[in-house]
Amino acid sequence: MNNFTFYNPVKVLFGKGQIAALATEVPANTRVLMAFGGGSIKKNGVYEQVMDALKSHHVIEFGGIEPNPRYETLMKAVDLARREQIDYILAVGGGSVIDGVKFIAAAIPFEGGDPWKICSEKVPVTKAIPFGAVLTLPATGSEMNSGSVITREETKQKLSFGSPLTFPKFSILDPETTFSLPLRQLSNGVVDAFTHVLEQYLTYPVNAPLQDRLAESILITLKEEGPKALQNPTDYDTAANIMWCATMALNGVIRVGVPTDWATHMIGHELTARHRPCAYPGHCATLAAALQARHQAGKAAAVR
């Protein structure tokens, strides 16, 4: 096993009715920016739950964060937050919304010019506005890690960043928020989580059987629960298992002490930056092609 340092300060509130905990998890007397995506939270009851829990807080809304969140959109949120003197942010949505909020949180106090430098030049994040998350789409694991991937439409770039300051303070995972998801989004989420695990598992052995078995347990659970979700998307236990698998797939636990290989996601970033398809189906095709290429290269090396 390789040397490692593990750090993950995210508080997870998992289960039915946990959105009500926002009332105490979001600090009192803060000016809160609530960020969300295309507006589905206003159709499935999540918005009402959030606003009820935050009825004693001052809340400013910012909607419209896209899948593969765009820098141009996020900078509008940054400008709004600066004008409104926001000192706390709440992400309500899937991984794209949470990734976007991580950038917003780092960009608001950024003093080095264009905040895009955080991604393009890897300028370290030295300050960030605190934020929490309410997860509505299990897939990326962003609710329990510090990483973020942002697209800049102008330059067709899709770049990542991360910092110890961009972990959520807390994340609420209520499986019931997923009941109204389209089946395609459910299946895409399972694919994304499955790919995350493979990129930390299909590398080379370093005698880390615990990490290997944890990875295998996530893969097996996703394989078993995914078809159940498509048959009965409102089954609570199935939704809960998938949601926790997606979180565990990328919260750092299975990657400690082992080599990782993110080629599939890096290739996917280039494709989605230029063509803007949904990332998850692309991961399937890219992963299969990458494994095939490595298999052929291995056979060629054996011949030599």
**pLDDT in tens for each of the 304 residues of the chain?**
999 999 999 999 999 999 999 999 999 999 999 999 998 999 999 999 999 999 999 999 999 999 999 999 999 999 999 999 999 999 999 999 999 999 999 999 999 999 999 999 999 999 999 999 999 999 999 999 999 999 999 999 999 999 999 999 999 999 999 999 999 999 999 999 999 999 999 999 999 999 999 999 999 999 999 999 999 999 999 999 999 999 999 999 999 999 999 888 888 778 877 776 555 566 777 888 878 887 777 666 555 5
- Residue among 249, 179, 173, 142 nearest 14 (CA): 173
Q: At a CB cut-off of 8 Å and minimum separation 6, what does 186 contact?
A: 178, 229, 230, 233, 242
- Residue among 169, 162, 191 nearest 252 (CA): 162
131, 195 contact by CB (below 8 A): no
Q: What is the pLDDT of residue 178?
A: 97
H-type alpha helices, 108-208: 117-120, 183-201
Q: What is the pLDDT of residue 282?
A: 64
Question: Of all helices (H) and strands (E), which one includes residue 147?
Answer: strand 147-152
243, 175 contact by CB (below 8 A): yes
Say yes or no: domain 184-303 is CATH 1.20.1090.10.
yes
Ranges for all domains in the chain classified under CATH 3.40.50.1970: 11-177
106, 52 contact by CB (below 8 A): no
Question: Of all helices (H) and strands (E), which one includes residue 91?
Answer: strand 88-93
Strands 58-62 and 170-173 come out as unpaired
Q: What is the CATH number of domain 11-177?
A: 3.40.50.1970
